[in-house]
Amino acid sequence: MNSAHTIQRSARSQNQRGVTLVELMIAMVIGLFLLLGTVTVFQQSRSNFRVSDSIARLQENGRFVLDMMEPDIRVAKLWGRSGDPGLIDNVLPGGLTVTCDTVDSSAAMLPPTTYTAWALDINREVWAVDESSGYGHAALGVPCSPNAGAQAQSDALVIRRASTQPIVPTAGMIQVHTDLTRGEFFNDGAVPVGYAAAAQTHNVVTNVYYVSPRSDLDPNMPSLRIKTLMPGGVHQDQEIMPGVENLQVQLGVDTDDDLEIERYVDADHDIVNPTTGGTIPDAQILAVRLWIVMRSDAVEVGFTDNAQYLSPDPDVVVIPCAGGGCGYPDNFRRLAISTTVALRNNR
């Protein structure tokens, strides 16, 4: 009786035996490996998401910039009812002036001119300032200085035209009144007389796009800015998009009047440069090629940008450099985007 009871208790004891220390340690090690793998996958997924989000944001901002500039470029040389700026009276009224919101250095430009004449130069509807000549060049620059200076190695783009829609004559706004045979500028709100019944009034648009080393949001962030003609004849500086680090402009030129682009050139190239002997007076600009470099809005920890960004202009290669004091710090992510815009009114 006692022997059978003892055997029964021993069997129950063996069935209720727990996990040994070795088994527990093995289970813990396996669990730690699984946890480490899960954390690693999570960190990699998080890092990949951040990179993808940063690239997507750069693409979105870059495309926004180009999509915003494209319509302005496409309708250059639009002067209301007249498609030929040569039909517009280029003798400006005495009371019509365009002023800078910064420093007007037009007196230093060659040949000497006023800022009003430069802003309303109807014979140069599309122009660019190449980085080789510089924003403040006496003949090829822009006489209204940028608010915070211009980014080194970056171009500027100038567009002159009329607004795409007719506008009610408004005192203080520089406007152009045209019919099919002639036109003239005015700013007193009084429509010029002697025009055909189908004549129209449009606002005058003069835009200068350039890259500034500073943004309104962050003094250490570059940005694309625009000087645009405002009521009262003031050429006012406004920010378009922070993060634009470089802008390059090339002009697609027809040199033999066959309405075909023979080549793309920089703005200071002999073909389009009025200060050189190689200028082709009848050359027509049929397209504008834009190239921009977008920069992320924050430093990416652990990332170093070792790429070289080759622009259409062989004189400019954006090379990131180490340290915070250089023009293109290498701890930001970048993206280069380009597009070509055909001018609708030059064909």
pLDDT tens per residue across span 248-278: 999 999 998 898 999 999 999 999 888 888 8
Nearest to 269 by CA among 127, 81, 162: 127
Q: Report the domain count for the chain.
A: 1
Candidate from 43-52, 95-104, 108-117, 203-212 with smallest mean pLDDT: 43-52
Domain contains 53: no
Give residue 148's pLDDT band: very low, low, confident or very high (50, 70, 90). confident
Domain contains 46: no
Give residue 15's pLDDT band: very low, low, confident or very high (50, 70, 90). low
Whether omega before 111 lies within 30 degrees of 0, making that bond cis, reads: yes
Q: Give me the residues paired with residue 265 across strands.
A: 251
* 218: containing domain: 77-293+341-346
Q: Tell me the pLDDT tens digit for each residue of 294-309.
A: 999 888 888 899 999 9
Q: Evaluate whether 164 touches 78 at the Cβ level (below 8 Å).
A: yes
Domain contains 69: no
What is the pLDDT at residue 61? 94
Rounded CA separation 96/250 (Å): 32
For 112-140, what is the mean pLDDT? 88
State percent of the chain over pLDDT 90.
Answer: 54
Rounded CA separation 228/225 (Å): 10
Domain contains 333: no
Domain contains 334: no
Rounded CA separation 185/91 (Å): 9
Written as six digits, the tokens of 79 are 């002067």
Domain contains 50: no
